[in-house]
Chains A and B, each alone.
Chain A
């Protein structure tokens, strides 16, 4: 079994409140927490901020209750997408995005929810004539189960399709309002195969009874399609009082339609899977990772530039 994790503690500018939340989570028995920075691109010109530095938050990490180890704090970024252009920030290998351990996306429309789960390929540009390698391209596409967006009959003007696959670890499911769309099984299955997790939050349900109904009905809809696989339940807590203990959250999973073992896995094993997915995202196929080597101080260097130095050594 894996250790219990709460992957969504809302970051705020108030460090003291954040500290209180992490201490409460450690007291309740969570071994891993992730501090979530939410970015909404609907407002104009939102910049992705730098994640909270853990050493600033705590000099000594609080010990998890019932164990002798301190709690592990990770950082997470959630992007609320309402428009396909918002996804571009994930495609660009911006250094800001790479600073976070887990990336999550909160799609607001059906198109974005279903389609981002699949691979797209960049098709040809417009105004191309019959290229001989078009059939080959189609064959490759069918192999890797891609979805072609639009292939016009005369191969002349093929629409340029945006984006690559979205490189995220979690997909958030809305709980505060009635689901604007129904889930479709094929894209959800592709997402599960890719290792994406679907996240449900429970702290809005604590605050309001109407939201409670929406949470449960949205969760039951999701369970019918995905059969309880790859589900994560987390608090979107902004205050320490909104966090609940891991076994209580596992019992809450029963209300959402999960079986007993799936509900306990939603707080432990699936969270571990999402963390590992986040780690491998930064590596090449999960096998090779790069670490930035610290540059030697200037005093050691000769005045020779680096390329010439390599020639001398070689």
Chain B
């Protein structure tokens, strides 16, 4: 019987919904966008819109290049030249590519200068650096997190700590990974990543953009003041979240009896919208660019428009060691950590943050 009861449960997941206004002084939207470091996919949906405006289109096309380096040794990221050239002058982001966080080692560099290594037991013991066991270990601890503060290290390069870290990563256990790199520079451009890593096979990549116009889409009716929704008057936050997922997966929302794939139907009350514009950008996208996109979407309502609201969804990398700030992220049966803004025409917004099983509650 315990087995049957266990089978009825789904893995733990959390959805945090909050509402506020962009003009409000204490609105947290900027902070939350900028502390979600590793973003894989950005999508926005604009109902009642057939063509994208020029500003939005330019923004989407210039979501910035990101770089892919193969077999980069880890000690290259702790050299003083790297720290002075990239980490201190702007925000540098790095994430290992083609590593599964629940199976192998993963490394991430955060813009505040912290290098997070998420290592399995054997590698941790061989490397010899100080770390702590992962929060989601269970009875047997198989995963360890090491956090190296590069800003702190760069002030005293002669310290024993820095020497030990260098020795561990260069000689004791040299680790090499494929990295995705991105850099948002502040100040004059002095050098680029392509030049710095020219010894390794570095490639510059542009994010992929996919645009489509959806016809006759059923949209739920939302009222910005009622986050929970009122029966017969408007839909709530969780219902909108499910509906948005169905739209992104291109699922029919009709609950047709002969449909094998889905029996989902649009939450009521709903209206039918003649056309809606859906744009998806995929790549290693900088939070700063997402913030600019968010502001531009707010400006969408500067002129009166038919659309009652627009949505902006951002998904993080499933294999990133951190979700928001330095909250640890793990992969249980699915490694989602994403957030979604619903922007209303009076600049109210709903913010929904969702995480999976091995994650802390979003901030």
CB <8 Å contact, A67 and B99: yes
Is B138 within 8 A of A255, CB to CB? no
- Cβ contact within 8 Å between B142 and A2: yes
B104 interface residue per 8 A CB criterion: yes
Inter-chain contact A2/B120, CB cutoff 8 Å: yes
The residue among A2, A31, A247, A255 with the most chain B CB atoms within 10 A of its own CB is: A2
Q: How far is the CA of A283 from the CA of B100 in the complex (A)?
A: 32
**Contact-size category for B:** 20 to 34
Q: A3 near B7 (CB under 8 angstroms)?
A: no
Q: B103, A2: Cβ atoms under 8 Å? A: yes
Interface size on A, residues (CB 8 A): 22
B103 adjacent to A255 (CB under 8 Å): no
A236 at the interface (CB under 8 A from B): no
- Does the CB pair B104–A3 fall under 8 Å? yes
Q: Choose the segment among A42-50, A117-125, A191-199, A257-265 that binds chain B (4+ C-beta atoms closer than 8 Å).
A: A257-265
Q: Is A268 in contact with B6, judged by CB distance below 8 angstroms?
A: no
Contacts of B103 in A (CB 8 A): 1-4, 31, 67, 268
Interface string of B1-42 (1 = CB under 8 A from A): 011001100010000000000000000000000000000000
Interface residues of B in 102-156 (CB under 8 A from A): 102-104, 120, 138-140, 142-143
Q: Which residues of A contact B139 (CB under 8 A)?
A: 261
Which of A252-280 touch B at CB < 8 Å?
254-255, 257, 259-261, 264-265, 268-269
Q: A255–B3 contact, CB under 8 A?
A: yes
Q: A2-B120, A255-B7 are in contact. Are A66 and B140 (CB under 8 A)?
A: no
- A residues less than 8 Å from B178 (CB atoms): 68
Query: In the bound complex, do residue B100 and residue A269 qualify as a contact, i.e. CB atoms below 8 Å apart?
Result: no
B98 in contact (CB, < 8 A): yes
For residue B333, CB closer than 8 A to chain A, the reply is: yes
Q: Is the CB of A247 within 8 A of B333?
A: yes
Given the complex of chains A and B, what is the CA–CA distance between A255 and B99 in angstroms? 29
Min C-beta distance of A61 to chain B, whole Å: 16
In whole Å, how far is B106's beta carbon from the nearest beta carbon of chain A? 11
**Which residues of B, 64-123, contact A by the 8 Å Cβ criterion?**
98-100, 102-104, 120
CA A3 to CA B327, docked complex, whole Å: 24
Q: Are B104's CB and A67's CB within 8 A?
A: yes
Q: Which of B2, B11, B98, B138 contacts A67 (CB 8 A)?
A: B98
* A254-B104 contact given A1-B120, A2-B142, CB 8 Å threshold: no
CB neighbours (8 Å) of B11 from chain A are 260
Within the assembled complex, what's the spacing in Å between the Cα atoms of A88 and B265? 65
CA distance A67 to B100 in the complex (A): 7
Q: Say whether B98 contacts A68, CB under 8 Å.
A: yes
Residue ID in chain B nearest A270 by CB atoms = B140
> B318 CB to closest chain A CB, in angstroms?
10
List of A residues within 8 angstroms of B7 by Cβ: 254-255
CB distance from B142 to the nearest CB of A (A): 5
Considering the complex, which residues of chain A in the window 59-100 have a beta carbon less than 8 Å from any beta carbon of chain B?
Answer: 66-68
Question: In this assembly, does A220 line the interface, its C-beta being within 8 Å of a C-beta of chain B?
Answer: yes
- Contacts A31-B103, A66-B98, A67-B104 given; does A1 touch B143 at CB 8 Å: yes
| Chain A window 102-138, contacts with chain B (Cβ cutoff 8 Å), 1 for yes, 0 for no | 0000000000000000000000000000000000000
Closest to B138 in A: A261
CA distance A68 to B143 in the complex (A): 20
| Residues of chain B within 8 A of A260, CB atoms compared | 6, 11, 332
**Alpha-carbon gap, A260 to B102, bound state (A):** 14
User: Are B3 and A220 within 8 A (Cβ)?
Assistant: yes
Chain A residues within 8 Å of B3, by CB? 220, 254-255, 257
**Chain B hits for A2, CB < 8 A:** 103, 120, 142
Residues of A within 8 A of B138 (CB): 261, 265
* B residues near A67, Cβ cutoff 8 Å: 98-100, 103-104
* Closest Cβ neighbor of A220 among chain B residues: B3
Do residues B98 and A259 form an inter-chain contact, with CB atoms below 8 A?
no
Query: Which residue on chain A has the smallest CB distance to residue B9?
Result: A260
Of A66, A220, A264, the contact of B100 (CB 8 Å cutoff):
A66
The CA of A269 and the CA of B100, in the complex, are separated in Å by 15
- CA of A261 to CA of B140, assembled, Å: 10
Bound together, the chains give a CA A67 to CA B102 distance in angstroms of: 12
20 more CB-based (< 8 A) A-B contacts, given A68-B98, A247-B333: A1-B102, A1-B142, A2-B103, A2-B120, A3-B103, A31-B103, A66-B98, A67-B103, A67-B104, A251-B333, A254-B3, A254-B6, A254-B7, A255-B3, A255-B7, A259-B6, A260-B11, A261-B138, A261-B139, A269-B142
CB-defined A-B contacts under 8 Å, sample of 22: A1-B103, A1-B142, A1-B143, A2-B142, A3-B103, A4-B103, A31-B103, A66-B98, A66-B100, A67-B103, A68-B98, A220-B3, A247-B333, A251-B333, A254-B3, A255-B7, A259-B6, A260-B332, A265-B138, A265-B140, A268-B102, A268-B103
Query: Interface residues, chain B, CB within 8 Å of chain A?
Result: 2-3, 6-7, 11, 98-100, 102-104, 120, 138-140, 142-143, 178, 332-333
